Amino acid sequence: MRTKDILDLMPYTKPFLFVDKLLRVDDSGAEGIFTFDAGLDFFKGHFKGNPITPGVLLTECCAQIGLVCLGIHLLKDQQETTGVKIGMSSSQMDFLKPVLPNEKVRVVSKKIYFRFQKLKCEVRMYNSKEELVCKGTLAGMLKSDSNE
């Protein structure tokens, strides 16, 4: 499955799509990039005079690239997949550096396991200086629309 096909199957659209480009997706993990544009609404109020990206959105970016894109790839063998439904089942994240407006990040995920439609991954986010921004473990339940 091509990366464009994976992005077309994502269950998100702007302004809640936190994937600009997928660099790699295979059975062991995924890698992609996203730029937190200064024009995004949440920067107006988080924090006054010193905007940074909320941790929940860093987690969401990691989940979209590292869990959902990988999950769509792993579901590729299910016939006529037209989309995917996902429910986050657990997250544990450590935040190490802030992400500022207009900062480009790179997310790398490594599959821990995928069985019984549950995907668990280790995720890491890096800034443009290749500094580790956050890291953690995410898990979710995946279901192909063709399984309904």
Q: What is the CA radius of gyration of the chain?
A: 15
Annotated catalytic residue within 21, 46, 76, 97: 46
- Closest by alpha carbon to 32, among 60, 75, 59, 3? 3
Q: Around Cβ 44, how many Cβ atoms within 10 Å?
A: 9
Q: What are phi and psi of 63, to 5 degrees?
A: -70, -40
73 is annotated as an active-site residue: no
Rounded to whole angstroms, the Cα distance separating 66 from 131 reads 18
Active-site residues, by number, are 46
